[in-house]
Amino acid sequence: MRDIDHLYIDGTRTRPLEGTVTERTHPADGSPTGRVVMGGAADVDRAVTAAERAFDTWSRTTPAERIALLENVLAEFDRRSEELVEAVTEDMGAPVTLAREGHVPTGRLQITGTIEAAKGYAFEERHGSTVIRREPVGPAGLITPWNFPVLQMAGKTASALAAGCTVVLKPAELAARCATLFAEIMDAAGTPAGVFNLVHGDGAGAGNALASHPGIGVVSFTGSLATAVRVTTAAAPTMKRVLTELGGKSPHILLPDADFGIAVATVRQWMMAMTGQLCSAPTRTLVPRARLEEFLSVLVPSLEALTVGDPRDPATDMGPLVSGTQWNTVQEWIRRGLSEGARVVTGGPGKPEVPAALEAGHHVRPTVFTDVTNDMAIAREEIFGPVMAVIAYDTVEEAIAIANDTPYGLAAYVVGADRERVDEVAARVRAGAVLLNDAEFDWNAPWGGYKQSGNGREFGVEGMVGFLETKVVHGG
């Protein structure tokens, strides 16, 4: 049991003024792990006031000074990396191996990538007698999700600080332990008072107060489209910049000459390892109709061989969903798919077989639907669970049209042997990132989506630029 009963404001641990309490439970077995005492609008105001006060000094630091702080943060991050691994597994139920080899290292890459971006970035350029300066927008409000907590907190914070902004972080309630550890890392790194602040709280209270606060110059939000609309609406009266990274219904296009071994590896890594709780998960797999049964004969045994169970066990391939609420949501989507006429070829409603000690956990069966058409709700809406919609197509032109027939545009996946055709399809898909043949992912390339998958970009130089404003000095 571990209670989280404090915020981090102006360089000190402090109790919330409002003090709403949320119980924490472990996703794997439902056992209590402690409580979170959350803050509200008054606490956000305290944090923003501290960030405004610190901004006057921090915004005038040199890039080298900001880089030095991030290097200290990196050292503390490394020192406490195993604690972060444990926190990710406890907060969201991610398998410990994935937390150790994926979640925490990708958070580290966000810090190192931002350091390199800041080292090579021209914050000031001269064109004759004209000087172009990139200056920090102002105090930044960061609202982060529970499904990639370390990466998101590290990435947004590093980008904002490198730009010269101060920070107020409002993490997801379900990632409270990860966030508290991150605040301790920032403190131990010697972050000046007010430069980094943390307020635990829910969206309706703390999140809305942060987005609407006149002292905040830029909001960076990652989460659902519905919440993004509320954040943007709250921010609109003050005309502050709002950066969003939202959901997706990413197509996984298997071309006629695709290697199904590569395709299944993509599904296992980018969907099932995260229990489908990934905004860029390849949830719509498009397969040539003539090869559909062949694909299913490779996919289904691979998914049925996954070890679903305790995320604290290194042998586990897929852990639970994050909460009972999410479990119920995913079950409803599976029932809806059946009611729409789709056919389950593996998985389906209910829980998988797990040890008795895990029966109260939020475990779910990896589920694959076929006989899916792209107008079905399970092919159009983000489910955020391990539920695949397999759609058959007759021509590559049809596959591209189906891939683009979505309000989202975060990611896409293309698998095929003919590289020229793979590249052509990738060029025609409307998505912010396209992964070809399960290639290695570049965590410092720009990340973000088209259409209703958000605006702005994260990671590396692009992530930092979102926190900068342009000033032109004529006759400088």
Q: Where are the beta strands (DSSP E) in 102-162?
A: 124-127, 130-136, 140-143
Q: What is the DSSP string of 195-248?
A: TEEE----IIIIIHHHHH-TT--EEEEES-HHHHHHHHHHHGGGT-EEEEE---
Q: What is the DSSP string of 85-98?
A: HHHHHHHH---HHH
Q: What is the DSSP string of 169-195?
A: EE--GGGHHHHHHHHHHHHHTTPPTTT
In terms of residues, how long is the chain? 476
For tokens 């989280």, the residue is 4
Q: Of 76, 90, 178, 279, which one is the catalytic site residue? A: 279
Q: Can you tell me whether residue 440 is helix, strand or coil? A: coil
What whole-number distance in Å separates Cα of residue 204 and Cα of residue 234? 11
Catalytic annotation on 279?
Answer: yes
What whole-number distance in Å separates Cα of residue 383 and Cα of residue 332? 10
> Within 13 Å of residue 396, how many CA atoms lie on the same side as its CB?
17
CB 161 within 8 A of CB 133: no
What whole-number distance in Å separates Cα of residue 140 and Cα of residue 439? 34
Q: Of 245, 304, 397, 462, which one is the catalytic site residue? A: 245
What whole-number distance in Å separates Cα of residue 310 and Cα of residue 316? 6
Structure-block tokens of residue 164: 């010269």
> Within 13 Å of residue 329, how many CA atoms lie on the same side as its CB?
14
What whole-number distance in Å separates Cα of residue 213 and Cα of residue 31? 37
Catalytic annotation on 245?
Answer: yes
Q: What is the CA radius of gyration of the chain?
A: 23
Secondary structure letter of residue 99 according to DSSP: I
What whole-number distance in Å separates Cα of residue 80 and Cα of residue 211? 31
CB 161 within 8 A of CB 55: no
> Which one-letter amino acid corresponds to residue 141?
G
**C-alpha to C-alpha distances, 73 to 55, 70, 101, 220, 308, nearest whole angstrom:** 19, 5, 20, 20, 35
Angle made by CA atoms 175, 181, 182, in degrees to the nearest 5:
85
Secondary structure letter of residue 109 according to DSSP: H
For tokens 């290194």, the residue is 314
Give catalytic residue positions: 245, 279
